[in-house]
Structure 1
Amino acid sequence: MQRLEAPYTSRPEESRGRFVAEPESPPRSPFARDRDRIIHSSAFRRLKHKTQVFVYHDGDHYRTRLTHTIEVAQIARSIARALGLDEDLAEALALAHDLGHTPFGHAGERELDQLMKPHGGFDHNAQSLRIVTRLERRYAAFDGLNLTWETLEGLVKHNGPLVDGEGNPVGRYREHGLPEAIIEYAEAHDLALSTFASAEAQVAAISDDIAYNAHDIDDGLRAGLFSLIDLGDVPLAGEMLAEVLKAYPDIGMQRTVHETVRRVLSAQVADVLAETKRRATKHHPHSAQDVRLLGRPLVSFSTQLQEKNRVLQQFLAQRMYHHDRVSEIMARARRVVRDLFEAYLGDPALLPQTWREDSFTDDTSRFARQVCDFIAGMTDRYALDQHKRLFDLDPLFR
């Protein structure tokens, strides 16, 4: 059966190319090649032992950054196929979306941002860009992965424009300005920061929301942070649970949880497909560029599901992300990050040889960024090992 192709799909043959020109690599398209480079990168492998919500040693069945990323990629590819978009680009962006995350999840990111305040702060989206344009050093002809313009654009702008038409930062960057990494790269390789990204990038972003909305329910239940009964009054999750209990009243806890979670996933995907098709019919985008210039997201939840997800996120924030057990461990994890940063900044000899190239510079901020890059790339396990080596204690358990 011939696959539908939307008129506003990103066509690889129309790609704006790579910063460093390269010959093509048939039979792969440029976007498929981007996906493959991301999968084979060191940063992607390290996601295996980076925290999603629980630190890596809490159990083998909780999600890590890697398993979450694979789940996001599966959802993104399915949505892209149903909408007639380029599946390889959507998958590449889904696989790359968490590359810039620190060890210990958002706790590690918040601590690094605080420590880096005098030196430009820390932002995981900007860090993802640094990884794929500078920090991965595998290829002879360039630093980074030399990804296509469309993949880099989507990586930076998957949540929407970063600046307005006059160049003023918007959204999350309105108060503190754009991260230096994004400014520097955009000056050399214009990523059109005032427009939306492609439909494929929007698919990758909403697939991230779909995945964690559903799977954090699963992990929270598995950890005993809340119970199935607690979900009864939560929109979407409670509705799906009621369906399962009505259809299968005697299947047991494990199957009930799985059936509920997969229905939460399916309901969100169905809503995105319906709402996106409705918006496409209303606005008639005829090209990928039309999507960028639409002035609002094309790929979206309906208003009703947005509200249900907002309430679900409030529930998860209260009962899971801010649970005393999680908060206590993450407070100790922030101490690990802080101790390592202060130790490396105070004594460059503690860094591995390959990370000392800027250790004798007079530019303190440049060296601080070097230390930040090193710590941000750590897995939970490696950060804990280094802390124990330097300080002879494991602060997560003492």
Structure 2
Amino acid sequence: MAFIPVVGTSIRRQLEEREEQILSPYATLNKRSRGRIKPEDDDLRDIRLPFQRDRDRITHSKTFRRLKHKTQVFLAPTGDHYRTRLTHVLEVSQIARSMATALCLNECLTEAIALGHDLGHTPFGHAGEATLNELHPGGFRHYIHSLRVVDTLENGGQGLNLTFEVRNGIVKHSKGNGDILPKDTAEIAVTLEGQLVRLADIIAYVNHDMDDALRSGVLKGKDLPQKIKNVVGERHSKRIGAMVRDLIVETLGADDGRLHVSEAMLEAITDLRAFLYDNVYRYYKVHNEFEKAQKIIRELYGYFFENGLSGRIDEGWEPGEEESDWPNEKIAHRRVCDYIAGMTDRYALNLYEQIFLPKPWGAR
């Protein structure tokens, strides 16, 4: 029977009731959210539930829009079909939502976490992240900075005031080279939806990074080990489909409130990730460009740390304290780090050229 809102009854309340009726007992319900850092008026006229509002706040944010000009793997790509950080989060969202639908989990929560999980990424991808981690005294991790973006930096310094469940999913999404399905619960999100995004993230990037590597000529189709092909298939769409179906079937079969992947598929994904690290991410041409990008980040960081941010308050950037208000180096480092982390690839390249490269006199 189709869901038809009853006139005169709160649409929001009806949506909450529908969640209780159709979602899995392991799903996270909106009405059971742990809430927001800053309580908000519960407007019953709003037709959106809290996780829907979070998703909308993320997609309408300036930081989200800037992801379209941030590196995924290949630096500032000029080709129209290479992935950027924005297309990456969209692919993660699509994969995660497909799995959430099959598992009867909360799709809006899943989508909000997926769309927000990489908001803290730097220009030049992991090259920028590694450099800021060296330069900033407190270190730098993109998943922690993603939380800083939604809590503090966005919306004119007011943050987006997202729900606990979305914030938790964002900060717990990253795995690096760690276990794909860690046994330590401290490493994963408290919701099954957040854990699902963690898996969708790796399913997305091992497949689309492989696709981009083939497009660039860094890899040939014959390079992928046959052992991996035997499990996931030959084609891009077939590989994604095989991984998604495996997780769904294994998780539904276990029915224990945890995500499951077959041993064969887990080994194939792990091997594919290792293959990409060895043959793409550490490929000398890719690595050489990353070293150049790191030089840009280092010099920009040093320049702004020494000279301050006056005159550099561009649209969409609210640095908070002016230089005269910086009482110590800690705050100076924090503001410069925030500024550089928010840059797009092309903005960083243009800024570097303006500051450090000489111009012919007639071009001034």
TM range (shorter): 0.7 to 0.9
Write the deviation string for residues 119-176 of structure 1: whole angstroms up to 9, x where unpaired.
21111111001000000124xxx8100111111122223459xxxxxxxxxx89xxxx
Are positions 1:212 and 2:205 aligned together? Answer: yes
Question: 1:237 & 1:388 partners in 2: Cα distance?
Answer: 48
Tell me whether 1:148 sits opposite 2:123 in the alignment.
Answer: no
- Cα distance in 1 for residues equivalent to 2:230 and 2:26: 33
Q: Is the 8 A contact 1:348 1:356 kept in 2?
A: no
Read off the aligned partner of 2:70 and give its amino acid letter.
K
Structure 2 CA distance for partners of 1:33 and 1:220, relative to 1, 3 Å: same
Aligned residue in 1 for 2:299:
339
CA change 1:43–1:239 in 2 (3 A) is closer
- What is the deviation of 1:239? 5.4
Whether 2:323 is the aligned partner of 1:359: answer yes
Distance of aligned partners of 1:212 and 1:57 in 2 relative to their CA distance in 1, 3 Å threshold: closer
CA deviation map 1:33-86 (0-9, x unaligned): 000000001110010000000122341110000001111111111111100000
What one-letter code is carried by the residue in structure 1 that aligns with 2:197? A
- In 2, the alpha carbon distance for the partners of 1:135 and 1:349 equals 16
**Residue of structure 2 equivalent to 1:8:** 26
Say what the alpha-carbon RMSD is for the aligned residues.
2.4
2:152 pairs with 124, 128, 134, which one? 134
Q: Specify whether residues 318 and 76 from structure 1 end up closer, same or farther in structure 2 by C-alpha distance, changes over 3 A only.
A: same
Distance 1:195 1:202 in 2: 6
Q: Structure 1's 24 and 235: CA in aligned 2 closer, same or farther, altered over 3 A?
A: same
State the 1:197 CA deviation: 1.6
Letter in 2 for 1:128: S
User: 1:345: how far off?
Assistant: 0.3
Distance 1:24 1:72 in 2: 30
1:262 to 229, 234, 237: 237
C-alpha separation in 1, matches of 2:202 and 2:37: 30
d(CA) in 2 for partners of 1:393 and 1:323? 32
Give the one of 223, 241, 250 matched to 2:216: 223
Partner of 1:274: 249
Aligned CA distance change for structure 1 residues 199 and 159 (closer, same or farther; 3 Å): farther
Question: Is this contact kept in 1: 2:58–2:64, CA < 8 A?
Answer: yes
Identity of aligned residues (%): 43
Q: Please state whether the residue corresponding to 2:323 is helix, strand or coil.
A: coil
Q: 1:238 to 1:320 in 2, by over 3 A?
A: farther
Map 1:42-57 to 2 at 5 A: 42-57=62-77
Deviation at 1:220, TM superposition (A): 0.5
| Contact 1:32–1:89 (CA under 8 A) maintained in structure 2 | yes
- Partner of residue 279 from structure 2, selected from 319, 322, 326: 319
Of 22, 42, 54, the residue aligned with 2:40 is: 22
CA distance in 1, matches of 2:110, 2:203: 15
What does 1:29-44 align with in structure 2 at a 5 Å threshold?
A: 29-44=49-64
Equivalent positions of 1:147-296 (< 5 A) are 147-158=162-173, 196-236=189-229, 240-241=233-234, 260-280=235-255, 283=256, 285=257
The residue aligned with 1:302 is 262
Query: 1:136 corresponds to which letter in structure 2?
Result: E
CA contact (8 A) 2:173 2:188 kept: no
The gaps in structure 1 that reach 5 residues or longer are 161-170, 173-191, 242-259, 286-297
Alignment of 1:64-79 (within 5 A): 64-79=84-99
Are the structure 2 counterparts of residues 349 and 270 from structure 1 closer, same or farther at C-alpha, using a change threshold of 3 Å? Answer: closer
Distance 2:358 2:99 in 1: 47
Unaligned runs of 5+ residues in structure 2 are 3-20, 180-184, 360-364
Distance in 2 (CA, whole Å) between partners of 1:240 and 1:272 is: 16
Q: Are the equivalent residues in 1 in contact too, given 2:232–2:242 (CA < 8 A)?
A: no
Counterpart amino acid of residue 376 in structure 1: A
Distance 2:330 2:79 in 1: 38
Distance 2:230 2:131 in 1: 32
- Which range is displaced more, 123-132 or 232-241? 232-241
Partner residue, 2:338: 373
Amino acid at match of 1:199: L
The Cα of 1:316 is off from its aligned counterpart by 1.0
1:388 and 2:350 correspond: no
Per mean C-alpha deviation after superposition, the further-off stretch among 89-98 and 355-364 is: 355-364
Q: Are 1:104 and 2:104 an aligned pair?
A: no
Q: 1:82 aligns with which of 83, 102, 127?
A: 102
- Aligned amino acid, residue 55 of structure 1: L
Name the residue aligned to 2:362: none
SS, match of residue 329 in structure 1: helix
Q: How many residues align?
A: 327
Deviation at 1:193, TM superposition (A): 6.3
Structure 1 pair 356–239 and aligned structure 2 pair: CA distance change class (3 A): closer
